Amino acid sequence: MQFSFETEGGNFSKAGTASSEIKKILNQLNVDYRIIKRVIVALYEAEVNIVAHAHHGWILVDIDTERIRIILDDEGPGIPDIEKAMEAGYSTASAKVREMGFGAGMGLPNIRKNADEFRIESEINKGTKLEITVYFK
Ligand SMILES: Nc1ncnc2c1ncn2[C@@H]1O[C@H](COP(=O)(O)OP(=O)(O)O)[C@@H](O)[C@H]1O
Ligand SMILES: [Mg+2]
């Protein structure tokens, strides 16, 4: 099964669309709620990162009997130092984004923690690509 979503930078009211849709689908598929929770935390953080830090993004979700794989591909500034960005508490979020309650610098560490497999690649002034896989068992 495949699903796709588009995300716009700056549109916080729509952040969470993909994660709530995918939550419904995984519930319908009777996936263990602990697994669903991990998928949704990772996907939500990745969605918010596109909204907070990039211009535009595409989210591709592939579900089979064994696992869910999510690819998030954005057009944006890219991440100059991925290792630093992965550190807990590191954030370049603007004051405005922080006022809205985002920008704690825990998104990427939480994505990595909740994924079974996690890949991130980024190119300056082009964009960032994440691949998140969670196994159902
Ligand atoms: N999709 C993205 N495009 C550009 N920069 C990003 C993206 N995702 C994360 N970053 C960078 O990595 C930092 C850390 O991300 P994260 O751990 O989610 O913290 P936060 O979003 O709260 O700042 C961000 O502050 C930003 O500098
Ligand atoms: Mg974040």
Render pLDDT for 96-131 as a digit per residue (tens, 0 to 9).
999 999 999 999 999 999 999 999 999 999 999 999
The dihedral of CA 17, 1, 115, 80: what is its sign?
Answer: negative
When pLDDT is averaged across residues 35-64 and rounded to a whole number, the result is: 98
Q: Give the residues surrounding ligand 1 with Cβ less than 6 Å away.
A: 45, 49-50, 52-54, 74, 76-77, 79, 85, 90-93, 102-108, 128
Reported in sequence order, the residue ranges of 10-84 that DSSP labels E, i.e. its strands, are 56-63, 67-75
Atom of ligand 1 at shortest range from CA of 130: 1
Tell me what percent of the residues of the chain surpass a pLDDT of 90. 96
Q: Say which amino acid occupies 56.
A: H
The residue length of the chain stands at: 137
Compute the distance from residue 33 Cα to the ligand 1 centre, in Å: 27
Give residue 65 CA to ligand 1 midpoint distance, Å. Answer: 31
Cα–Cα distance for residue pair 3/18, rounded to 1 Å: 9
Gyration radius of the chain over CA positions: 14
Angle at 131 between CA 68 and CA 39, to 5 degrees: 40
**CATH fold of 2-135, please?**
Heat Shock Protein 90 (3.30.565)
Amino acid 89: pLDDT: 97
Q: How far apart are the C-alpha atoms of 102 and 94, rounded to whole Å?
A: 9
Q: Which ligand lies nearest to the CA atom of residue 82 in the structure?
A: 1
The confidence score (pLDDT) of residue 126 equals 98
Predicted structure pTM score: 0.97
